[in-house]
Amino acid sequence: MDKVQLKLEESGADFALLTPAPNFQYLAGYDYHMRERLVALLVRRGADPLMVVPSFEESDHKSHTWIEDFLPWAEDEDPYTMIADTLGSSDTEFSVLLDNSLPLGIYWNLEKALGNFRKAQSITPAIDSMRISKSENELDLMKKAGHIIDDAVMGAFSQAQLGMTELDVKQLVQREVVRQGAVPTFAAVQFGENSALPHADSGSRVLKKGDVVLMDCGCSVDGYNTDMTRVGVAGEPTAEIERVYSIVLKAEETAIEKISLGMNCGTADGIARRVIEDEGYGDYFTHRLGHGIGLEVHEPPYLVRGSTEVLGEGMCHSIEPGIYIEGKFGIRIEDLACVREEGLEVITYSPKELIVLEV
């Protein structure tokens, strides 16, 4: 919160306002799904932070946050008018810092209550810079999530059978995540030709002998995420599948070995991409090499061609090269890594060999 106060001073803003979203969670210490009633974190320059909440929910919010001061509003009160009264002079045109995720309707209501803003700026880049390097406590949560998704994905591979649908196998992953006390965030299970469609939803496609089985799955522990992709085959793989898999695995392992502290993200992307291009599959690697991860599954830094962002100590990101041959199959291998002085620390744990399902 001291850094938020510093940003208020540097920008000349009178206050910052954030509504429930990852940056709110980072500052207030808890996640919340806001419905139609306003919940907000109000940070005035030179003052303690203030939580704006419906009065009948006040006790619940207090039990989840370290913030002590609250501005509760009753059902027959206007929280925006109460914020205006708290900020003071009605003759003042306020300068404000807002999070990029703030709903437009809340912006309009706030502006109406306060009058026209003298200046409205984004606080998001400042908070992103705080979040981008993870503390050891944050890393511990991500590692715990990594072990849970390892168990869930490998368990689902061992239980998958011919005739199951993608959704059936997805449920196997998510049930194990819940059993171990984590929150399932996503599970993309794709069979056969569907595996060549990155990020396609799981559906009613039935597992058949010879199918590639791609599982890209994640979960969270206390809000912190993991993300991992593994690939198997229902029965014996073809020579083409084995060759493509070996190329993708080499690209991933080369990137993990060579990406280092101080490297820019564009260079990092190029390490894996060159391996795939040199094997003649460059046109089939259709996305960036990786994304940052933490409170969000996708957040800075982004390992993408042309990026000059530099990898710093404690940054966590995915490494996920892929080759996608539409109409046939796709292969992607994904792990998470944390940037350390001595190299990358991998924080996902499943074996990387092509998994052969006994069907």
**What is the per-residue pLDDT for 89?**
67
Choosing from 131, 160, 190, the residue where a domain stops is: 131
Q: What is the pLDDT of residue 70?
A: 98
Looking at the structure, do residues 158 and 214 belong to the same domain, yes or no?
Answer: yes
Q: Which two tokens stand for residue 145?
A: 């999530």
Query: What's residue 184's pLDDT?
Result: 97
pTM of the complete model beyond 0.85: yes
Q: Nearest to residue 251, comparing CAs of 273, 268, 229?
A: 273
How far is residue 37's CA from residue 21's CA, in Å, rounded to a whole number? 15
306-338 exposure pattern, b = at least 16 Cβ within 10 A, e = fewer: ebebebeebbbbbbbbbbbbeeebbbbbbbbbb
Amino acid at 129: S
Same domain, 188 and 291: yes
Q: Does one domain contain both 236 and 328?
A: yes
Identify residue 255 by its one-letter amino acid code.
A
Beta carbons of 5 and 49 less than 8 angstroms apart: no
**Domain tally, the chain:** 2
What angle is formed at CA 85 by the lines to CA 72 and CA 26, rounded to 5 degrees? Answer: 50
Q: Which of 225, 164, 220 is nearest to 189 (CA)?
A: 164
Please name which of 222, 159, 221 lies closest in space to residue 189, comparing C-alpha atoms: 159
- 201 and 323 in a single domain? The answer is yes
54 and 177 fall within a common domain: no
Kindly write down the DSSP assignment for every residue of 97-121, as one continuous string. Answer: EE-TTS-HHHHHHHHHHH-S-SEEE
Q: Which of 104, 131, 158 is the last residue of a domain?
A: 131
pLDDT of residue 131: 97
Do 193 and 282 lie in a common domain? yes
User: What pLDDT score was predicted for residue 271?
Assistant: 98
Do 184 and 219 form a contact (C-beta atoms < 8 A)?
A: yes
User: In this predicted structure, what is the pLDDT of residue 115?
Assistant: 86
What pLDDT, on the 0 to 100 scale, is given for residue 243?
98
How many C-beta atoms lie closer than 10 Å to residue 191's C-beta? 23
Q: Give the chain's residues under pLDDT 50.
A: none
Largest CA distance in the chain: 75
Q: Is 265 exposed, middle or buried (0-12, 13-18, 19+ CB in 10 A)?
A: buried
Domain that includes residue 45, residue range:
2-131
Task: Verify that 294 and 319 share a domain, yes or no.
Answer: yes
CA within 13 Å, CB half, 157 = 26
The CATH number for 14's domain is: 3.40.350.10
Residues 344 and 198 in one domain: yes
Give the other-Cβ count within 10 Å of 6's Cβ: 11
Residue 244 tokens, joined = 């493509």
243 and 303 share a domain? yes
Q: Who contacts 307 (Cβ-Cβ below 8 Å, separation ≥6)?
A: 264, 265, 266, 269, 301
Q: Which of 131, 161, 191 is the last residue of a domain?
A: 131
